[in-house]
Structure 1
Amino acid sequence: MRLAIELANTAHARQGTVCDELQTPADLAAWLTRVGPRCAVPVDDESRSTVDLADLAAARGLRAAIRAVAGAASTGRTPDPADLDGINSAVRAAPHWRELAFDGTAPRVTTRHGTAAITGALAEVAADAVDLLSDGRIAACAAPGCVLLFLRDRPNREWCSNACGNRARVARHHDRRKQPAPKRDAA
């Protein structure tokens, strides 16, 4: 799964209640541990141990911006400029450069980052969101009670999973069945 979707889906619904997996700095550190191996920006143990409330606020702000822009885009609305700025500000926070070094006679290129590792990882998530949102492949699930985002792999896909699709179809069937039958004229 893509990093932007994984961050966005740290807020999800469970039995009709929205659950937030990022409530503490430790929660963010645990999430970074799970996704860290897929990040180009290294988030080492030392960086994860220093995750603070500011990092948590940045991650939650980025998550909110991704969710808002994806929700607007998937329903054909124009996203709020403040949400777009939230994503673009996070992308701009990761200046990096490549340095050349040698191990004996073998050249080695190392990418260096001018920001803290956590900020760099969030910038990578934001860059992933820019890619996904710019081509319209990220969408909000249309199932009742679901708040997840998903990667739209075909144009007519409406739900994040088969379970949500089944739930939506059952809800539509239930709605049709509970409507009163049309009255017939007595002849």
Structure 2
Amino acid sequence: MSHSSKLVILDRDGVINRDSDAYVKSLDEWVPYPTAIEAIARLSRAGWTVAVATNQSGIARGYYSKSVLESMHQRLRELVRQAGGEIAHIAYCPHGPDDGCDCRKPLPGLLEEIRQALGLETLADSWMVGDSLRDLQAGEPMGCRPVLVRTGKGRRTEAKGEGLSQAMIFDDLAAYVDWLLATEADSAD
């Protein structure tokens, strides 16, 4: 079994923290789901590598700066560390939808960045967890297994029903992690 299959890649807004249709523009507006922080730590403690791939077009739109975004990610790393876990890499796309970049999900550029940063040959059999279809689509060409969570935009995405035939669906990140760790324990028996 290759090392790469012990990787979980998470979208940020709507998966780790509350999403906002008006963008999460400041550290005060960055409100994590406590169960998500704990879930990331549980993954870490169980030997999984956790990375984050997040579109942050609010930077291109001028709503907040890269340094504000870094402060959110610093807080995220601290909270996860306090809970006994670690985030291996955070990849973000600062571009707008018309910038022609190759990193904005549903394109797989952020996942390629994560693959390189972690020194992995492949992301095949890794997990891609998101609340929107484009999160799952970004994982597709990389061979990631798709998971939709119902937090954030997840319920809306589920209701549309498009492109979800391969996806597993969970109420939130904690429920997915419960399932993943239980499944892993079963297969180890």
Q: Give the structure-2-normalised TM-score.
A: 0.29
**Pair member with larger Rg:** 1
Q: Give the structure-1-normalised TM-score.
A: 0.29
